[in-house]
Amino acid sequence: MRIAIVTTNRLYPWGGAEHLWHAVALAARARRWPVLAVAGPLTLDSAPIGELRAAGVEVRVLPPSTAVGGGRLAALRAWRQRFLGARRGVGRALRDFAPDAILVSQCGAFDGAWEPWLQGVIAATGAPYVTITHNNDGQTLGGGDRVACLDWCRRARLATFVSAELADLAVRQLGVDPGNLSVVQNPVAIPATPPPWPASPPYRLAVVGRLEAHEKGLDLALAATAAALSRAEGWELSLHGRGPDAAMLRAQADQLGIGDRVRLAGYTPDPVEIWRHHHLCVLASRWEGFSLVMAEAMACGRPVLRTASGGANWIEPGRTGWLCAPGQIEALTAALGTAWARRADWASMGAAARAALLSRLDRDPATTLLDLLATCQSPAR
């Protein structure tokens, strides 16, 4: 079986949304299936792309965006791009590859609806496609946009999501259930044993992820930490990651009067190394798909305080962590205060978090998704 994989990630380097399709590609190669992967331009020099090439995966680069607006002229442009997309560059490579099935790894729920070149490839090859969605900002869809997104979802053999919340949100946006939605988990690296519980005080809180203040709620995390803990003793907050808002966040921490307790730790590739030195995971995102940061912290035996966005149902409030409404500084401040009052329980809550994660986790979601792709192969192929 010949598998093509297309990611819609044009804006970011290698990150959490890449792990699943990467694992699917390697699992397909382990079965000796030919694989062609279309990767984002900022990921091409990453170690995982090198691993794919070493495994025999043909890697191409995602072309520049061909998204168009509304109106008759835009519709004509979209048709033209769809027609030409299968006959130029990476579109031609996909057409010549003649895949039996195509996996579209989407950063947003309906990305493929705005990729005319990809729709041209699908039309030219006749290959069935499956989508896997990693995030959704919850935007309201206008009439024409809703029709386009619903058509994209319905034409997919399966529309899969990394959390049930993401699938439910898509149904609300579309106004109707397309009838082909499913959930496939993200892969999570599980250490055989969690790192030892760090000595305390100080109690170390960690925010892990891309340093983009709005989506990840990092501005809220700093403000809530200052409001809840500025008068408390024996705590530190680390921001682990890299991104465009690092300088802004440093300035905000200083302005809030907690700069001496906030550390910008940079990017750490191994989550075990992060949690070897930290006690509590704080996830303040305004929206999430399924947070790998949350799952990795739980796997390392650490409780999680997070906003109630995608994947939040993995947290049992008061037992494995705390939940609060996204985008609300008052709710996050209150949750931090509650968590701090129970800091003596963090170690036992972390052990409960790891046990809860292991009881629900698909240990091999790449094979789950690959098997779904295999069932989608057209009978004529």
pLDDT digits (tens, 9 = 90+) for 330-354: 999 999 999 999 999 999 999 999 9
Question: What's the predicted TM-score (pTM) here?
Answer: 0.87
Mean pLDDT of 85-109: 89
Distance, in Å, from the CA atom of 230 to the CA atom of 259, rounded to the nearest integer, reads 11
Whether residues 318 and 215 share a domain: the answer is yes
CB–CB of 62/39 below 8 Å? Answer: yes
Confidence class for position 76, pLDDT limits 50, 70, 90 = very low
CB–CB of 90/10 below 8 Å? Answer: no
Alpha-carbon Rg for the chain in angstroms? 22
In this predicted structure, which of 79-83, 195-199, 221-225 has the lowest mean pLDDT?
79-83
- pLDDT computed for residue 310 by the predictor: 81
Whether residues 58 and 116 share a domain: the answer is yes
Average pLDDT value over all residues in the chain: 92
Looking at the domain assignment, is residue 322 inside a domain? yes
| Residue 28 token pair | 């397909």
Looking at the domain assignment, is residue 197 inside a domain? no
Domains identified in the chain, total number = 2
- pLDDT computed for residue 69 by the predictor: 52
CB–CB of 74/114 below 8 Å? Answer: no
Whether residues 220 and 83 share a domain: the answer is no
pLDDT per position as a tens digit, 139-160: 889 888 999 999 999 999 999 9
- pLDDT computed for residue 59 by the predictor: 97
- pLDDT computed for residue 100 by the predictor: 96
Whether residues 19 and 166 share a domain: the answer is yes
Whether residues 134 and 276 share a domain: the answer is no
Domain that holds residue 352: 203-360
CB–CB of 62/38 below 8 Å? Answer: yes
Distance, in Å, from the CA atom of 124 to the CA atom of 13, rounded to the nearest integer, reads 30
Whether residues 172 and 288 share a domain: the answer is no
Beta strand 158-161 with 3-7 is unpaired
Distance, in Å, from the CA atom of 212 to the CA atom of 216, rounded to the nearest integer, reads 6
In this predicted structure, which of 132-136, 235-239, 288-292 has the lowest mean pLDDT?
288-292
Whether residues 164 and 239 share a domain: the answer is no
- pLDDT computed for residue 288 by the predictor: 87
Q: Which amino acid is at 356?
A: A
Q: Which amino acid is at 74?
A: A
- pLDDT computed for residue 66 by the predictor: 59
> Domain containing 12 — which CATH number?
3.40.50.2000
CB–CB of 327/220 below 8 Å? Answer: yes
Helix axis angle for 47-54 and 19-30, nearest 10°, is 10
Whether residues 37 and 170 share a domain: the answer is yes
Whether residues 159 and 209 share a domain: the answer is no
Which residues, listed in sequence order, are joined to residue 37 by a DSSP beta bridge? 5, 59
Whether residues 81 and 36 share a domain: the answer is yes
Distance, in Å, from the CA atom of 116 to the CA atom of 67, rounded to the nearest integer, reads 7
Confidence class for position 87, pLDDT limits 50, 70, 90 = low
Tell whether the model's pLDDT for residue 61 goes beyond 50: yes
- pLDDT computed for residue 84 by the predictor: 53
CB–CB of 122/129 below 8 Å? Answer: yes
Whether residues 150 and 239 share a domain: the answer is no
Looking at the domain assignment, is residue 318 inside a domain? yes
Confidence class for position 79, pLDDT limits 50, 70, 90 = very low
Other CB atoms closer than 10 Å to residue 264's CB: what's the count? 15
pLDDT per position as a tens digit, 267-318: 998 999 999 999 999 999 998 888 999 999 999 999 999 999 888 999 999 9
Whether residues 70 and 161 share a domain: the answer is yes
